[in-house]
Amino acid sequence: MEAVDYLAEERRKAEFDVEEMKIVWAGSRHAYEISDRVSRLVASDPVFRKDNRTMLSRKDLFKDTLRKAAHAWKRIIELRLSEEEAKTLRFYVDQPAYTDLHWGMFIPAIKGQGTEEQQQKWLPMAYKMQIIGCYAQTELGHGSNVQGLETTAKFDPQTDEFVIHSPTLTSSKWWPGGLGKVSTHAVVYARLIIDGQDHGVHGFIVQLRSLDDHSPLPGITVGDVGMKFGSGAYNSMDNGVLRFDHVRIPRNQMLMRVSQVTREGKYMQSDVPRQLVYGTMVYVRQTIVSDASRALSRAVCIATRYSAVRRQFGSQNGGPETQVINYKTQQSRLFPLLASAYAFKFVGEWLKWLYADVTQRLEANDFSTLPEAHACTAGLKSVTTSATADAIEECRKLCGGHGYLSSSGLPELFAVYIPACTYEGDNIVLLLQVARFLMKTVSQLGSGKNPVGTTAYMGRVEHLTQCNCEVQRAEDWLKPSVILEAFEARAARMSVACAKSLSKFSNPEEGFAELSADLVEAAVAHCQLIIVSKFIEKLQQDIPGKGVKRQLETLCNIYALYLLHKHLGDFISTGSISPKQGALANEQLRLLYSQVRPSVIALVDAFNYTDHYLGSILGCYDGNVYQKLYDEAWKDPLNETVVPDGYHEYIRPILKQHIRNARL
């Protein structure tokens, strides 16, 4: 059999309706149709070509990004694409650009923190891209500690203006995407100072560049922070540095939904909590969870297809060697990642719902669910991005030597993805926020206030800290109620143990700092419980299509039992399960790998990714890996000449010297 036939053969083995699974993956038939149509549109447009991207110099890459962003905008207008279609188009163009921050943070910041009047003034211009904005919060000296930002916005009652200033080197804005070379405006976070009094960090709309010739406005120093990790990758983005030298803006450019400054310089706070100033981060963290499932599914698609094509060892009587996907070690490394991609997809959908719900409530002045929305977005952003970053690297290793080639698509995907563990909140810092939320929840138990939402299980803490797992045989681990209780018991016991340890400290903040490593683990356990429980909830829905639900049940079980195996120490040390039950879970996991094996190629086909989007020879749909790798090698600039440039200067003299020495 030729390499090109391997995937066709695999596709014949699928035990479910792939077309129906594509719809489940996309979220709805409507979303599927948009995604399918727009991805093909992008793939067929030569301007969106990206196979040469890692070879470009920084300047050429950046210009190529500007060209793609401009072309995308032109197509969006020409084709009158809806908001959803336009977002899908930018996603499939697959090149980080200033537009991500304009649409993803600048506009949401104005929508979330601006008054009606401010929205009416700024949003129409932003929607038409007559102005381009970024989100300028982080500084050289402070990122995680937002309250520690140093940029000042002093109110000048004489002129009814704020004076934006960078008082120190460390107060220079540093990192904002789109700032370096493109943005005309920014939402700048600065300390509000009125009459010498510091009112903390607030957002201000500041114009940075002239709308006529793009030069920085007086008092503004702005540029790019320099090359980042990897070739190509995130270097298409102009992450920027920005300093203000007493830049004046009108008073009405402070975002005033949360608090206001009057003409007289009086500071007033609305009923809305001050944490709404952080609202844009909550919004983006929620989108990052869905992005994690996309990046992970992309890596998994590449590694799965290649593992079915690649053969090593095991030839019998001159027959074909074994497909590496049939090695149990390959399966135990790869299949949990496939299951994780589906798990993150569904928890991302749920988080989107949660975010829509909290937004609706906020509009009606109901702030009760904000702490939970913050904890869920922070925690799930952290857990899914860390797992995805690790998984992309694992997929590279699963592809052996060829995974290290740029043309596998995996090195660039890794380089572009890993900052997700840092931006929008360092993952550890965010897990500590979840831990604070959990400790608060535990401390309120028994106060008559029943925990709700994702912490509702804490309401059964007495049962969960005493219950015994009922598993006696491996197949008992297939019961959703058994899985859920084990994860709930682990999470509840870890949180309660932390709370008990904390109570021994006279100074709670000191205790929190001392126990922070344990607290982070408790937060991870809580977030993993959410992901598992949302997968199980998804399976309670009506899911049409032959065999589709069954495959998803298998993936859900793989995801949960893989986590259980990986964190066996937590489950056993908390007494949530016994060592024997841990061994039975592993036995069941092996059976599940065999069960899903025939369908794995179809399960990655269900992502419906074009070869253009995948950007990987190893992951191409037809599986013609070897021919394509061979052809691609000859396109490398080094192969433009047979004898390399530099031969006469640097190779020949050494060779000659060697010959001379040999003669001596």
Ligand X SMILES: CCCCC/C=C\C/C=C\C/C=C\C/C=C\C/C=C/C(=O)SCCNC(=O)CCNC(=O)[C@H](O)C(C)(C)COP(=O)(O)OP(=O)(O)OC[C@H]1O[C@@H](n2cnc3c(N)ncnc32)[C@H](O)[C@@H]1OP(=O)(O)O
Annotated binding site for FAD: 138, 177
DSSP 21: H
Of 98, 423, 559, 571, the residue at the interface with ligand FAD (CB under 6 A) is 423
Which of 10, 139, 424, 488 is catalytic? The answer is 424
Binding-site partner at residue 36 among ligand X, ligand FAD, none, CB < 5 to 8 Å by type: none
CB of 440 to ligand X, least distance (A): 6
Q: At what angle do helices 579-596 and 328-363 cross, to 10 degrees?
A: 100
631-660 residues near ligand X, rule: CB under 6 A: none
Site for ligand X in 597-636 (CB under 6 A): none
433 touches ligand X by CB under 6 A: yes
Please tell me whether residue 286 binds ligand X under the rule CB under 6 A: no
370 binds, among ligand FAD, ligand X, none (CB under 5 to 8 A by kind): ligand X
Output 347 or 478, the one with its CB closest to ligand X: 347
Joined tokens for residue 48: 């969106």
CB of 208 to ligand FAD, least distance (A): 14
DSSP H or E stretch at residue 74: helix 58-78
Residue whose C-beta lies closest to ligand FAD: 143
Tokens of 457: 């299980």
> DSSP readout, 229-278?
STTTGGGGS--EEEEESSEEEEGGGB--SSEEE-TT--EEE-SS-GGGGG
Alpha helices of 310-369 — where are they, by DSSP H? 328-363
- Distance of closest approach, residue 91 Cβ to ligand X, in angstroms: 6
- Binding ligand X (rule: CB under 6 A), the pick from 10, 20, 64, 100 is 100
d(CA 291, CA 527): 17
Residue 239 binds: one of ligand X, ligand FAD, none (C-beta under 5 to 8 A by kind) = ligand FAD
Written as six digits, the tokens of 606 are 């269900």
Does the footprint of ligand FAD cover residue 138 (CB under 6 A)?
A: yes
Q: How far is the CB of 278 from ligand X (least distance, A)?
A: 3
Distances in whole angstroms, Cα of residue 498 to Cα of each of 305, 463, 511? 44, 18, 10
Task: Using CB under 6 A, pick the residue from 21, 206, 284, 354 that binds ligand X.
Answer: 284
Residue 445 in contact with ligand X, rule: CB under 6 A: no
Cβ proximity to ligand FAD: between 125 and 428 the closer is 428
Residue whose CB is less far from ligand X, 433 or 624 = 433
Q: How many helices (H) and strands (E) does the chain have?
A: 24, 11
- Residues between 383 and 422 that touch ligand X (CB under 6 A): 416
Smallest distance from the beta carbon of 540 to ligand X, in angstroms?
Answer: 30
Task: Please name the residue ranges forming H helices in 399-515.
Answer: 410-417, 427-443, 461-464, 480-503, 508-514
Nearest CB to ligand FAD, comparing residues 96 and 336? 96
| 177 is a contact residue toward ligand X (CB under 6 A) | yes
Question: Can 19 be counted among the known catalytic residues?
Answer: no
Answer with the entry of ligand FAD, ligand X, none that 278 interacts with (C-beta below 5 to 8 A by kind).
Answer: ligand X
By CB under 6 A, the residues from 215 to 234 that bind ligand FAD are 234
Nearest to 498 by CA among 572, 435, 455: 435
- What is the residue type of 504? K
Q: Quick check: 372 binds ligand X (CB under 6 A)?
A: no
Residue 428 binding ligand FAD, by CB under 6 A: yes
Counting residues that bind ligand FAD (by CB under 6 A) gives 20
99 forms part of the interface with ligand FAD (CB under 6 A) = no
Token pair listed for 161: 């203006």
517 vs 662, which CB is nearer to ligand FAD? 517
- Strands of 560-599, DSSP E: none
For ligand X, the binding residue among 188, 282, 303, 391 (CB under 6 A) is 282
Judged by DSSP in three states, 505 sits in coil
Please report the DSSP string for 508-563 in residue order: HHHHHHHTHHHHHHHHHHHHHHHHHHHHHHHHTS---STTHHHHHHHHHHHHHHHH
Q: Characterize 391-421 residue by residue with b for buried, 16 or more Cβ atoms within 10 angstroms of its Cβ, and e for exposed.
A: bbbbbbebbeebbebbbbbbbbbbbbbbbbb
CB of 145 to ligand FAD, least distance (A): 7
- State the amino acid at position 231 in one-letter form: S
Which residues are registered as beta bridge partners of 243?
221
Which amino acids are annotated catalytic? 424
Which spans of this chain sit near ligand FAD (rule: CB under 6 A)?
Answer: 101, 135-138, 143-144, 175-177, 234, 239, 419, 422-423, 425-426, 428-429, 432
